[in-house]
Every structure is written in C-alpha cells, then in structure tokens.
C-alpha cells in the first residue's frame, strides 16, 4: 500500500513483530481508520458473496430448494463431477460451445484491440495539424454505450442490412448475402463490434505510454542508423512493455467475462444465441436462471474463477520482471 517502507526496520524475531505492528498502528492511526470502511465494504461485497457462491456450488439448488438456499441438500462435489464427466448434463453440453466461443472471442478481441490501439496511438503520437480533433473523434466508438452497440450492430449485420450491402452489392465479395446472426458467422458478429468499441480505450492508454518515452533516444537511434521498424521493435515495444502487460490482463479478464454484446444482440438475453454465439457468461446466466441449476451454475462459475486465476498466474510469471522494476 506504500503507507511506509520497511527499509529502516531491522529484522527481528517473531515476538517483536507484534510490537512493530502495534507501533505501526499507533503511528498511522488516522490512515488505518480511513481504511476501515473500505475493508468492511470489500468484505461485504466481495468476500461474503464469494464464500456464499462457493458454498452454493456444493448444494442441490433448484427452484424447490432455493427458498432456503443456504440449507439446500448438500451434494458434495456432484455439481463439479456432473460438469466435468456427465455428458447428459445440459449445463455441460451448453458449456462446450461457450468455452470454445469464449476462447476464440477473447483471444481475437484482445489481440485486435491491442494491435489496433497501438497502431492508432503511434499514428496520433506524431505532430500534425488537427491532431487533438482526431484524437477526440477516435474516441467516439468507446463513448457509445454497449447496449447501443449491440442493438446498432444487430441491425447492421442483418441479411439485408448495411454490412451485407457493402460486402455483396458494392464489393461483390460474396455471391449471396450471408447470414451473420445465424450459424457459424455469429462469432464474427460479436467479435468485430467488440473490437470496434474497445480499441479507442487502448489507444488512449498507449498514447499516454508513448508520451513517456523521451524523444531524444529516437534521435540518437536515427543517427546510429536504426530504421523505423527497428526503433519500434527494439525501443518502443520494450519501453511500453509494462503498459502492455497491464492492459493485456485487463483485456483478457474483460473479454472472458463479456456479456452485454451477446445479450443485446440476440433477443435481449432471452434468446439462444446459437452454437457460435454463446459466450461463457451468457451460457452461465441461462443455465443458472433459465434452467434453475443454481448449484451447477455456481460450480461452473467457481471453475471459471480458478481458470482465470491460472491465466493471471501465467501472466504474472511472464511479466514479473517488468512489473517489479517499475
């Protein structure tokens, strides 16, 4: 928390640690008092629901047992076993598609927004007339509420919508107008709008990162004969690595937990987006609240949480050095 550093404190035995703590609390009474409401709040809104969710994943929870949900029949790890091994389990059948789609979606969207964001940030980092206007204009997609994005693109993707008009009537890329909201194309119908909406945020972040890189090292590199590409590869990218690291994590979490776009584009959360449109969050919502398999739903959420923790672990190992030197 950076309240104060441990450097001046000598390493002592365990017994004196208590004294150190006491002194620390005494010295910073006000700071700790300020923290108390936050800690209480965090416990209430984060820890308790998490414990409850964890407990629910061991219960047989359906509409009949839901009324007294903390006292529902205990079934141990049945919900987990059902999800992992029982091929008749409807929750599991739905999840196979959702996991595949979420993996494709999260990877493409994350790469897409980062690459787009970085490219646009590099473009806008140069000095040219109208630069500030361009920066504001670029932010437009990001300002559009996600609900509107879903509804708007839902119209544009329709078979006789504007996208097919461009693809077929103007560019002649297809012989027939394809469906985008039915069948396998659905995955693109959710990926592309998400990238469209997401990259301006990355652009802002990268722009801020780029501006911390001093101009003179580029001048030095140019004098030494390094080309633009080499400068980018050997200077810009490494200097941006901490920013990239944080944004990568942020994007992965954001995209794996994506819900709005599918929900608004396909029947406002009531419809089934199909085998290529369902994401983990929409599937889990449907399984929990549509099928009332609240126990299985919790189990799936807990498993997703652990998968996410593993991803974060891998991420942390990959970027440990960059994050610690900053």
Partner 1 sequence: MKKTAVSISALLMAFSVVVSGCGGNSNSTNAANNGGVKEESSATTAPATSKAPSMEPVTLNAWVMPNSPKPDADFLKTIDPYLKEHPNVSVKVTVLDWGSAWTKITTAATSGEGPDLLQLGSTWVPAIASMGGIDKVTDKVADVGGAEAFLPAIWKTTSIAGDSEVYGVPWFVDARAIYYRTDVFKQAGVDTATAFKDWDSFKSALQAVNGQTVDGKKIAALGLPGKNDWNVVHNIFPWIWAAGGDVLSEDNKNVTFNEDKGLDGVMYYTGLAAEGLVDKASLEKNSSQIEGDFGDGKSAVIISGPWLAKNFATPKANGGMDDKKAAKNFAVAPLPAGPGGQATFVGGSELTVFSGSKNKEATWELIKYLTADEAQKAYAAVSGQLPARLSLLESPDLDANMKAFSEATKYGRTYPAIPQWGPTETALQKHFANVWDIVAGVKGKYSRESVKEELDSAAAEVKAIINQ
Write out the residues near partner 1 by the rule CB under 8 A: 17-18, 21, 40, 43-44, 48, 62-64, 66-70, 88, 90, 94, 157-160, 177, 179-185, 265-275, 285-286, 289-292
147 versus 233: smaller Cβ distance to partner 1:
147
18 versus 317: smaller Cβ distance to partner 1:
18
What the block records as the tokens of 96 is: 């196979």
Distance CA 151, CA 180 (A): 14
What the block records as the tokens of 33 is: 């008092």
161 versus 242: smaller Cβ distance to partner 1:
161
Q: Give the other-Cβ count within 10 Å of 192's Cβ.
A: 18
CB of 227: closest distance to partner 1 in angstroms? Answer: 47
154 versus 198: smaller Cβ distance to partner 1:
154
Distance CA 105, CA 163 (A): 20
DSSP string computed for 242-284 = HHHHHHHHHHHHHHHT--HHHHHHSGGGTS---TTT--HHHHH
CB of 186: closest distance to partner 1 in angstroms? Answer: 9
What the block records as the tokens of 92 is: 């599991």
Q: Residues in the chain, how many? A: 326
CB of 231: closest distance to partner 1 in angstroms? Answer: 47
CB of 14: closest distance to partner 1 in angstroms? Answer: 8
CB of 72: closest distance to partner 1 in angstroms? Answer: 12
67 versus 129: smaller Cβ distance to partner 1:
67
Question: Is the four-CA dihedral 112, 103, 244, 264 of positive or negative sign?
Answer: positive
Distance CA 111, CA 126 (A): 23
Q: What is the DSSP letter of 70?
A: G
CB of 204: closest distance to partner 1 in angstroms? Answer: 32
186 versus 247: smaller Cβ distance to partner 1:
186
């Amino acid at each position: 928390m950076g309240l104060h550093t441990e450097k001046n404190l000598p390493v002592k035995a365990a017994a004196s640690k208590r004294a150190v703590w006491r002194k620390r609390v005494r010295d910073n009474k006000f700071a700790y008092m300020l923290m108390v409401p936050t800690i209480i709040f965090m416990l209430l809104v984060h820890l308790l629901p998490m414990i409850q969710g964890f407990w629910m994943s061991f219960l047989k929870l359906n509409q009949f047992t839901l009324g007294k949900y903390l006292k529902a029949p205990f079934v141990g790890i049945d919900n987990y076993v059902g999800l992992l091994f029982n091929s008749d389990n409807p929750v599991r059948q739905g999840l196979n598609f959702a996991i595949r789609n979420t993996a494709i979606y999260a990877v493409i969207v994350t790469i897409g927004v980062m690459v787009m964001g970085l490219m646009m940030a590099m473009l806008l980092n140069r000095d040219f007339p109208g630069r500030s206007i361009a920066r504001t204009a670029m932010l437009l997609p990001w300002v559009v509420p996600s609900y509107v994005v879903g509804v708007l693109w839902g119209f544009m993707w329709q078979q006789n919508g504007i996208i097919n008009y461009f693809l077929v009537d103007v560019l002649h890329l297809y012989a027939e107008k394809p469906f985008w909201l039915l069948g396998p194309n659905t995955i693109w119908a959710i990926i592309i709008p998400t990238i469209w909406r997401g990259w301006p945020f990355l652009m802002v972040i990268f722009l801020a990162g780029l501006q911390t890189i001093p101009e003179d090292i580029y001048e030095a590199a140019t004098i030494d004969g390094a080309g633009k590409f080499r400068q980018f590869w050997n200077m810009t990218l490494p200097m941006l690595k901490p920013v990239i690291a944080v944004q990568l994590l942020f994007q992965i979490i954001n995209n794996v937990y994506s819900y709005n776009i599918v929900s608004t584009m396909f029947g406002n959360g009531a419809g089934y987006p199909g085998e290529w449109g369902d994401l983990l969050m929409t599937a889990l919502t449907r399984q929990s609240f549509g099928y009332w398999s609240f126990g299985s739903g919790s189990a799936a959420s807990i498993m997703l949480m652990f998968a996410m923790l593993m991803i974060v672990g891998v991420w942390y190992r990959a970027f440990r050095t960059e994050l610690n030197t900053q």
